[in-house]
Amino acid sequence: MKKLRIAQIAPLWFSIPPEKYGGIERIISYLTEELVKRGHEVTLFASGDSKTKAKLMSVVNQGLISRGVPWHDWWWNNLNYSIAFEMAKNFDIIHSHWTPSGIYFQRFVKTPVLHTFHNIPKGDDHRWKILENFRDSNVVFVSKSERKNSEVKFKRSFVVYNAADLNQFKFNEKGGGHLIWIARVSPIKGIETAIKVAKKLGGMKILLAGQLQPMMEEYFKTKIKPQLSSKIRYVGEISQKELSDFYGSAKCLLYPIEWEEPFGLVMVESQACGTPVIAFDRGSAREVIKNGKTGFVVKNIGEMIGTVKKIDQIKREDCRAWVEKKFTIERMVSDYEKAYYQIIRGGS
C-alpha cells in the first residue's frame, strides 16, 4: 500500500496529547504518532501547545479551555477547519475528529473526508435533523452500540474501537483494597451512585478522580462535597503520569454510567493496569468489558454491590490480556488505515 498524505483535524479545547482530561485528544495523539511511525505524511491541525512528530498547524497557541473560551464558542474551531479544508488538495484524505464543522466543509472539496463520531447526539436531539442532510458522509463509530444508537444511516460507516497505550499503563498484579471512580464530574457519569455503593459496602474506601468543569461546580458543591470524608475522597484531576498508579493500586473501578456512553476509555485503561471494572449495562459496556472475565456488567446498584463482593474472582492478568487483544494502538491504527484505503478507493 502506498503511504498517504493525511490531515488530522483535532478540536482545539485541549492540547494533543492532553496533560490531564481529554480522552478524544489522547486517541488523536495515539493515532497521529503511529501513522507517522508507519511512514505516512501526517499534518495535525491542533492547538500550538500540542506535541507531535507530525507537521503541526495551529491557529491558537494553547488549548481554548486554558484561555477561558467556553465550550459553545466555535469561532476558533471553525477557523481551524477552514484552514485545513483550504489545503485539501495537499492530502489524500482528511480525518475530522469533531463533526459539526467538518461535515459542513466536506462538500466543497474533492478530497475524501472521514469523520470519527467520538460522541453522538442523544435521542431526539435536533442535531440529527442537521445530520440527515449529510447521509453521504464517511463515518467511524467508536463502538457497535454507538452505531446502533445513531439516528442516521450514513453512506459508509466503520466501527473502530479506541485504544490504550500499554507502555503508559503498567500492569499491577496485586491491586489494592479500595474502590475507584474516574470521569468528568457529572451526574451522567454516576459519581453519586459510586459513592452510594461504597457506603452500602460498610463504608469501603473510594477515591474519586476527574475534571471539575465550571458548569458542574454547583452540582459538586451541593451533591458531592457534603458526602466526602476520610473514606470518600475526591482527589481532583490527575495527570497522565499518575493514572497508571491510580488504576493499578485499586481493587476495582466502578462505572455506573447514566447514559449510552459511546466508548468509555477509562474502562480500557483500568483493565490495562489489571484492575477489573463493574459498569452499568449502558452504551459500550458489554463491548469493552468481557463480562465475568475482566469485570461485570450489571443492571442496577444492587447488582453492583453484589459483584464488588465477588470481584476477587476476576484474575487481574485476564484484564490485561483482554486489552492486549482488543484495544491496542496498533490494532486501532490498522483499522483506521483499512478505512482510509477503502474510502480513497471508493472516492468521496
pLDDT tier at 348, thresholds 50, 70, 90? very low
pLDDT tier at 66, thresholds 50, 70, 90? confident
Mind giving me the DSSP string for 285-322?
HHHHS-BTTTEEEESSHHHHHHHHHTGGGS-HHHHHHH
Close Cβ partners of 148 (under 8 Å, ≥ 6 residues apart) = none
pLDDT tier at 133, thresholds 50, 70, 90? very high
The full set of domains in the chain, from first to last, is: 5-163+329-346 (3.40.50.2000), 179-326 (3.40.50.2000)
Chain segment 83-95, per-residue pLDDT in tens: 999 999 999 999 9
Cell 476527574: give the residue.
Answer: 210
pLDDT tier at 346, thresholds 50, 70, 90? confident
Q: Is the pLDDT of residue 225 over 60?
A: yes
Exposed, middle or buried: residue 226 (CB in 10 Å: 0-12, 13-18, 19+)? exposed
Grid coordinates in use for 51?
Answer: 506535541
Lowest mean pLDDT among 63-77, 136-150, 232-246: 63-77
Q: Kindly report the pTM of this predicted structure.
A: 0.93
Q: Which amino acid is at 68?
A: G
Q: Is the pLDDT of residue 68 over 90?
A: no
Average pLDDT over residues 69-92: 93
Lowest mean pLDDT among 7-16, 71-80, 305-314: 71-80
The rounded distance, in Å, linking the Cα atoms of 108 and 128 is: 21
Q: Residue 80: helix, strand or coil by DSSP?
A: helix
Question: What are the distances in angstroms from CA 109 to CA 97, 105, 140, 338?
Answer: 17, 8, 20, 22
Average pLDDT, the chain: 95
pLDDT at residue 138, rounded to an integer: 96
Q: Residue 233: helix, strand or coil by DSSP?
A: strand
pLDDT more than 90, % of the chain: 87
Q: Is the pLDDT of residue 347 over 60?
A: no
Q: Is the pLDDT of residue 127 over 90?
A: no
pLDDT at residue 21, rounded to an integer: 73
